[in-house]
Structure 1
């Protein structure tokens, strides 16, 4: 009997000491999940049941809050870069205003949490989890609006479906800077490395596309220049139409030239774009 009582007391002492250590560990943000689970499974936990239950709830709340913080942080970091662009802000004024409010609240919240690095105290501030949940919901709504905005652009210029959201946002965010579209041309048009651009005569800060260049360096001049002005999806549609029209006209003339140069095939091949000679 004495031995059994002594053994039980020793087990209870071990649990009590572990709880003390656990409480001390929170200041260093050490989550003793396995230790707590082991305690609850012990038949000697009865004397400390309320304390163990408290820590179980506290741990659950801390984990839930931290998870929500990370979730909000991921969305905030992604959207912050997007709403730094003036063009996007003009296109989505309502969402921009909503993000600005969340941006201020998020930075204030992070400053507060950074001021007290104790996980238990920090995550148990009144209304913190509810506020984070609300921020997360609003950020998701902003993301949906952004996705719908990108979808409208893709419907106007379907080749945008070849681009990731990040690439498309980069293009839309610099719609007033046509050269910024150049790195993405080969994703929109197969083997098109770049557009040949030049300033519009007599105009300030206006460019026009006068041709296209392949990855091999072959340049095909357009039949007529394309003004690169306005929404990027609009002038890219103009570029695509001009590409088709130019190639159709070149193919027509290429076939006529072939009939005249039957005996000079090598010279004919060198005078016309490769795609047209193959097709002709």
Structure 2
């Protein structure tokens, strides 16, 4: 078993596995936030490079499964139907990634966290914000580009995507599937990049592989809850999780 510990003690490894199990459950139920939950805890119990390596394969494999849960035709339909959002996200990542060393991470987290928190709390107050059909194409480009710019700089592109899906009132299955498609693309880029940087190496790769098991176990349990949630409750819990995610980004921005 030591081979899979990544240099951690057995106790710390099992804590990481339990955190991953919970993060996978949340992802299965709502569709996002797994890496944010994992990093929030991992950063306090292990070196940052190992923390990042630990989540990479879990993010990649769970999003592959999430995006293909309804079959290849549904995956293809979502990828084509949201091609503007996906394309703009990729372009945003390509534009911003070279500037990551020049912009303070705490500033970025604050600039993302504040508007996302305001959006989620406003929606939770019972005043829905919807994008008119005639503006959808433009909104896909704008929010996709914003998601990509933040993804390239801070590794976080989920909240703008979730905001768009909530604003067009996408149904539950479509919301989760589209998130999976977009996060799969990001996870693939992340994994490829860090095979090159050395973050994924002979020590950290087995650790990352080991965490795939609790990630999947949690996600499969979360799917059961997702299937039972009616659309109103699903939307509400998505907004609650989005608000908590944004508030955590603000916390990191202010306190580091």
| TM class, shorter-length | under 0.3
Give the structure-2-normalised TM-score: 0.23
Task: Flag the structure with higher helix content.
Answer: 2
Q: Which one has more relative contact order, counting CA pairs under 8 Å at least 6 apart?
A: 2
